[in-house]
Amino acid sequence: MIKEFDLKLTKLNKIFIGLMIFYGFLLVSSASALESERIYQNSFFMVRNHLISVLVGLMLLYFIKNIIKFDLILKNLKYLAGGMSIVLFGLLTYGNTFLGALDG
């Protein structure tokens, strides 16, 4: 009974991930089509970048889910959280001047 419930939750999870990806593409395409056309002369430039980001994210999801052991992640969680905080701080601090939104 529990295994059947887990299978239903897994299927529901995959459906919602697919819906979120589709909704993200919809938002990116509707919000950036005119700006992409104006700046890059290609209205699908941002959508293509979003697609590349989604594919990289799905590859990382597969890598983390199937190759890295969950116990290893839990054991090193404080180091991972600290490293992610430093990376995000660096993106917020230097993102506008180094390959950021204001470079275009």
- The per-residue pLDDT for 97 is 56
**Average pLDDT, integer, range 33-54:** 87
As a whole number of angstroms, the distance between CA 46 and CA 37 comes to 10
DSSP for 15-80 reads HHHHHHHHHHHHHHHHHHHHHHHHHHS-TTHHHHHHHHHHHHHHHHHHHHHHTS-HHHHHHTHHHH
**SS3 at position 2:** helix
Residue 95 pLDDT grade (very low, low, confident, very high; cuts 50, 70, 90): low
Residue 96 pLDDT grade (very low, low, confident, very high; cuts 50, 70, 90): low
Instruction: Say what the pTM is.
Output: 0.60
Q: 103 or 25: whose pLDDT is higher?
A: 25
